[in-house]
Amino acid sequence: MKIACLDFEGVLVPEIWVNLAEQTNIEELRVTTRDIADYDELMRFRLDLMAKHGLSYEDLNKAAEKLEPLPGALEFLVWLRSRYQVAIISDTFYELAGPLLSKLHNPMTLCHRLTVGSDGNIIGYRLRQVDPKRHCVKAFQSLGYEIVAAGDSYNDISMLEQAENGILFQPSEKVVNDFPDFPVALNYEELKVMYTESMLSLIPI
């Protein structure tokens, strides 16, 4: 049995924090893992910015609710789920991902939790574990599964390296230059081809 592990933001949905930056005109919120590879450092930066500008969890949630999956994402996911078991492995948060996951027919998703204070402000976050994407892949492999993983950014690299096959999906030029050994899919049709080829290349279980 094979499992397809996918990143969420940048692969199936737009970047939630970038959308919040557009709605609030706070340009610094556009920074993502493509810019700051250390996710813990990135989240501290984001929460400090939100506190500085008086943004609450409700503001962030409203931004998330207005988002739609990337064009073609749902169709790709339906296609993929007919061929693989699928797991979304993301550094997003359940509190933000819910509306978008519903629009994608609620695939299995492993991500983090936000901590919201009684005043409605985000006071922290709980990461599921250190390097969670790689650990998820290792856990699936320990059960006898082979993994084909796709992601777009630096925080996906350990997942792609751990998987039997790793694919970069619409990555930045910097990510491609830093990790030239991974195949690159520029759209969902190319990603379908790579998943089809990976299925044929993996040893049947």
- Gap between the Cα atoms of 138 and 145, Å rounded: 9
Q: Considering 9, 15, 95, 146, which one is annotated as catalytic?
A: 9
User: What type of residue is 85?
Assistant: Q
Q: Tokens 């999906």 label which residue?
A: 169
Q: Where does 25-69 have alpha helices with state H?
A: 39-53, 57-65
Residue in 26, 84, 74 with CA at minimum distance from that of residue 50: 26
Q: Considering 7, 15, 152, 156, which one is annotated as catalytic?
A: 7
Please confirm, yes or no, whether 7 is among the known catalytic residues: yes
Identify any residues that bridge with 113 across adjacent strands, giving them in sequence order. Answer: 126
Residues 6+ apart with CB under 8 A from 104: 12, 13, 69, 73, 74, 77
Please confirm, yes or no, whether 9 is among the known catalytic residues: yes
Query: Can you give the C-alpha Rg of the chain in angstroms?
Result: 17
Q: Are 41 and 185 in contact (CB under 8 A)?
A: no
Active site amino acids: 7, 9
